[in-house]
Amino acid sequence: MAHFTPCIIIPCYNHGSTLKCVVKQLQFLQLPIVIIDDGSDSETKNSIAGIIEQTPNTYLTTLVKNQGKGAAVMAGIKTAHEHSFTHALQIDSDGQHSIQDAPTLLEIARTNPKSLISGYPVYDDSVPKLRLYARYLTHAWVWIETLSFTIKDSMCGFRVYPTSPCISLFKKYKLGTRMDYDIEVLVRFFWDYGDIKFSPTKVIYPENGVSHFHPFTDNVLISKMHTLLFFGMLLRLPKLLLRKLER
């Protein structure tokens, strides 16, 4: 069995009010935690400072200016790799994800150390219907870009990343730094490494939750990304078809 030393990474932008609760709930895992401050306001910075002071084995990575969720996640993975962690469990700071499902994701990662592991969202009635329907449009594009139904969901931010392959991916490609990141990293990981696994997880949208999804800006970025990935798929068509036949 390959060496397995995971940590937790939590990108945070102005979620000071929920971050403390998320960190507290994660303590049962007894894993090191990397908090990525993505240019947050002073209230959140104070909250993070208190968490770092009160929580052992917690690291802080600070981005001076807000760069976007993708940039924060990549910074967290880089920090994890620098501290010799083989895997990074990403969880959002807004309380959407079911932390009780984390051990399942980690166990799948432990037994499949070269794979990227992602949650497969199971929504309750709190999910905004427009965002739910929009996800299916992205799923269809991803299936075209990979010529595969392997990627069941490309937008869930509850994942376990193998750090070394991801660092290589970041060096090879200039990935999107905002909401386009979650989708693009899965497609490019599939192209280069192939193995992505999913596990069902409950996702809720907390009442009065803070969302940093900007409908116009982020949808433009995602549309541009899908265009580039489609042409990238055409360049990789022989390789993808051969892989499909081999499977």
pLDDT (0 to 100) of residue 126: 61
The pLDDT, as a whole number, for residue 217 is 75
Whole-model pTM: value is 0.89
| pLDDT value, residue 13 | 93
CB neighbour list of residue 52: distance below 8 Å, 6 or more residues apart: 35, 58, 60
Backbone angles phi, psi at 178, to 5 degrees: -120, -140
Average pLDDT of span 120-133: 68
Domains and CATH numbers, the chain: 6-246 (3.90.550.10)
| CA distance linking residue 131 with residue 133, whole number of Å | 6
* pLDDT tens-place string over residues 183-203: 999 999 999 998 999 999 988
The C-alpha R_g of the chain, in whole angstroms, comes to 17
Asked whether 119 and 97 are in contact (CB, 8 A), the reply is yes
Residue 15 to residue 92: CA distance in whole angstroms = 10
